[in-house]
Amino acid sequence: MSKEFNAFEMAQSQFDAVADKLELDEGIRELLRWPLREFHFLIPVHMDDGTVKVFHGYRVQHNDARGPAKGGIRFHPQETVDTVRALATWMTWKCAVVDIPLGGGKGGVICNPHSLSAREQEQICRGWIRQVARNIGPLQDVPAPDVMTNPQHMVWMLDEYEKMTGAHYPGMITGKPVEVGGSLGRTEATGFGVIYTVREALKRAGVPIKGVRASIQGFGNVAQYAAKLFIEYGGSVVAVSCWDNDDHAAYSFLKPDGIDIDFLLSITDRFGTIDKDKAKAAGYVIADPESWIEQEAEILIPAALENQINGDNVDKIKNTVKMVAEGANGPTTPEADEALKARGIFVIPDFLCNAGGVTCSYFEQVQCNQNFFWPKDEVLKRLDEQMTQAFHAVADLAEETGEYMRDAAYMISIQRVAVACHLRGWA
């Protein structure tokens, strides 16, 4: 690629293209191009070896015209403020496209949990809260887990927040364990939401899901549950990929006749790393990380990080591929998007496709705030209804106007947020 990838520049270019289509005036355009507020801070931690290490943390609140900001917290060694800005921006559009009354936010810490003890991770969590406690909460900004954070991290953050405020606020953070105010169904929500949209897209195309092949990038929470539900529906998954911390490399695991999801889960650690030796012994081909994109499949599901389908590899996609369902945030660059569009590949855009997570987080927040919790079947039924309704609203608009699915989704989201800003008198 001609220059280093910048996720926020990509988010802004996507917005600009649709803002032109909507003929937004300059005031609202400028307001929605940038985050309303940002917090950059340092988190000093006493490490297990007696030294003090300083970690850089962020919280970005892109827009809260429709309700409290909402978005996860990433722990990642390559985290940047521009990545956090982009993710916060996409969260605004994601909440709007599924029509839940929340805005967009995102947080992060530059660290690698794989190389930190549980105590060190707890100190980072508590330190992050101490830096932003006055600017988050159930009525301001509600964090959640994201890449390399989990329910335990959320409990430590909740506990620190409640110590500082002197009261119980279970709705200040989501993605918690069920035992302390988490929602049933939250673990499955993002991956299941991806497949709900895939199911509806196949229905509209008149294609039975049975026998349809998918290739998935990633094997974390989203990829695991997407694979599980897709296989339950009768499809097959011919490839997954994961990061191996032992040798700091990524690998694809190929099985043309379809993976055994239960077997792979049984040899996968809590970070989503699959045991290569056991997989190979069971007949899986261990290949380079790009191999997932080169498989003979009808559907590609990037469910890892941003910038994974780009100008350098989009031509490797086989002619069998008819759909890309973006389980990750920002996995497809604008250059690759144009290539997919030219080939007539149907794309379910990220902020629609993977909105199951934030939708269920909203359900968790509602349940916590009313101190009344729903059965799992009810959570998943509500999730299915919300995702299905959102998908068809976007697909209908795309069909009526001839717009690309991503642009149609942006048009719905941006209009909803712009109206809220106008009604508040912001622009």
| Catalytic residue IDs | 106
Of the candidates 291, 262, 286, the residue with the CA atom closest to the CA atom of residue 275: 286
How many residues are recorded in the chain? 427
Decide: 253 and 307 in contact? Cβ < 8 Å: no
Q: Strand 236-244 relative to strand 285-287: parallel, antiparallel, unpaired?
A: unpaired
User: What's the rounded Cα separation, in Å, for the pair 216 and 383?
Assistant: 22
Of the candidates 186, 177, 198, 190, the residue with the CA atom closest to the CA atom of residue 218: 190
User: What's the rounded Cα separation, in Å, for the pair 147 and 112?
Assistant: 11
Of the candidates 417, 337, 414, 423, the residue with the CA atom closest to the CA atom of residue 23: 414
User: What's the rounded Cα separation, in Å, for the pair 283 and 295?
Assistant: 17
Helices (H), 267-344: 276-281, 334-342
CA torsion 418-423-425-427 (nearest 10°) is 20
CB atoms within 10 A of CB 289: 16
The edge-to-edge listing of strands for the beta sheet with 213-217 is 285-287, 249-254, 236-244, 213-217, 299-302, 323-325, 346-348
The structure tokens listed for 64 are 């809260």
For residue 8, give Cα distances in angstroms to 15, 82, 212, 399: 10, 5, 34, 29
Decide: 418 and 64 in contact? Cβ < 8 Å: no
3 state SS of 387? helix
**Residues 6 or more apart in contact with residue 55 via CB below 8 angstroms:** 42, 43, 44, 45, 109, 110, 111, 124, 127
Q: DSSP state, 375?
A: -
**Residues 6 or more apart in contact with residue 157 via CB below 8 angstroms:** 73, 125, 126, 128, 129, 143, 173
Q: Strand 236-244 relative to strand 346-348: parallel, antiparallel, unpaired?
A: unpaired
